Structure 1
């Protein structure tokens, strides 16, 4: 899928809580770090380069996360990300953390961001060129709301366990 990029990483022992699960805050670290890498791999620029060229960047205004399956230390996970909504001023990126075989889904994160002018210190519309560029990377998913999406992903996990 052109708009979805995946990277693999290993969960570190020091990122886990005393009972051996990935700490809730660390999910965000792993997932957002992967997204930053995906931006370079998929779109060919860094956030810093985009700021230098346009004076604008994306600022997260909402994160919605669902923890679907525990992650233990030294587990290898695949983290994928994709744009699922693209509006005049906002975008929503879905980031999924899956097991190494891409069977079970450990967590789902939706990050909503506004396009923000550093000079004007306010949100601004995406340029027509940017909208056209990202149109090729937008990935449609059947669910429109986060709760619907997490319910679908939970069902996927149940199907995986049955097989």
Structure 2
């Protein structure tokens, strides 16, 4: 059984913070996307660059949606989780959450939708069956269908903690 929602631990570094000691908005993307790349490689042996060399196809980003829910401060330990929450024959959407070290508070939520893209034809393609089988195995159903609904739900959960 494959891990559906892998996670990584990070420490927020001084160089990644703004002048008031909060993690810089752009650095959220770096932390979250790097974590997802690590999760895919370590848990599913998926390397987008290697995939493109073998097949001429890779996943490219169609859309990002991010919500900064609770600030992250310098030198704090955080947990970043990622999971596939939706997929079609050509696209998949992942959710990446940045959480406190106890995973009780959500700092940020990111949804990224990717399309499977042929570098030669410059067009989308249907994802190979082996990937569709993997996505079916690891997809995590969440109760919310829209990003805004998901963020509101995470904010409500945070209020119960704070």
TM-score if structure 2 supplies the norm length? 0.95
Moved over 3 A (4+): none
Residue matched to 1:78: 79
Q: SS at 1:29's partner residue?
A: helix
Residue matched to 1:97: 98
CA positional deviation for 1:160: 1.4
- Residue 2 (structure 1) aligned with residue 3 (structure 2): yes
Residue matched to 1:19: 20
CA positional deviation for 1:55: 1.6
CA distance in 2, matches of 1:61, 1:124: 14
Kept in 2: contact 1:3–1:42 (CA 8 A): no
CA positional deviation for 1:120: 1.3
Residue matched to 1:134: 135
Of 128-137 and 81-90, deviating more is 128-137
CA positional deviation for 1:3: 1.2
Q: 1:57-105 CA distances to partner (integer Å, 9 max, x unpaired)?
A: 1101110000010101111100000000011111100000000111110
CA distance in 1, matches of 2:147, 2:43: 24
CA distance in 2, matches of 1:65, 1:45: 24
Residue matched to 1:144: 145
Q: 1:4-43 CA distances to partner (integer Å, 9 max, x unpaired)?
A: 1000011110111111111111100100010100011121
TM-score if structure 1 supplies the norm length? 0.95
RMSD: 1.1
Residue matched to 1:108: 109
CA distance in 1, matches of 2:84, 2:129: 17
Residue matched to 2:125: 124
Residue matched to 1:45: 46
Give 5+ residue unaligned stretches, structure 1. none
Say how many residue pairs are matched.
161
